[in-house]
Amino acid sequence: MAFWFKHWSDFRHKPAMITLLQEGTERDALAFYRLLEVVSEVCGEKTGHEPVLELVPPLTELWLANELFTAKWNADNQEMDSPGYTDLKDFLALAHRCGAIELERFKSDTWTQPNPAKPDGPRIPLVFQRIRIIGFDKMLSDYTLRAQRNSEKHGSKVNQN
């Protein structure tokens, strides 16, 4: 159940994108557009129609890196390097600094690990990352906005595909 959204036709003139291009590269700009599409595809009723992406398995950092970036040529070893955590971490930090996204770390209610200090004690919640697109609500299409209002009014499910 994907959001229907429209790309801003003037997004390249918005302060966040100008800063992203000044401080980053065109690869970062493309990654941001891909992030919009990933959020649109993944978010919907399960996130309460919020444009929030929580990187909790199976949606991991490595999964998102592969969604946003293509492999790049490594001249040193003469092969293609797959995108990884560092690519994603650097991009998210840049997009956050530029004001395009908000980043938040949160403790999971369901994912835990044993406590190494107290093996028989309570388990420790794992910490994951939450990404929120700033201004995404202004990009939602009229169809999605109407569907959200109807869903909230009637308590029904929204078919956004």
**Domain parsing of the chain, residue ranges:** 11-149
What's at 143, amino acid-wise?
Y
Q: Give the pLDDT of residue 159.
A: 46
pLDDT at 146 > cutoff 80: no
Query: How many C-beta atoms surround the C-beta of residue 20 within 10 A?
Result: 24
Q: What is the pTM of this model?
A: 0.75
123-139 pLDDT, tens digit each: 999 999 999 988 776 66
pLDDT tens string 1-43: 455 555 556 677 788 888 998 999 999 999 998 998 898 888 7
**Which of 93-102, 121-130, 136-145 has the weakest average pLDDT?**
136-145
Closest CA relative to residue 2, chosen from 60, 35, 70, 49: 49
User: Which pair of tokens denotes residue 55?
Assistant: 């990187």
Q: Measured between alpha carbons, how far is residue 130 from residues 8, 82, 104 in Å?
A: 23, 23, 5
Whether residue 58 has a cis bond before it, omega within 30° of 0 = yes
The predicted model gives 42-66 an average pLDDT of 82
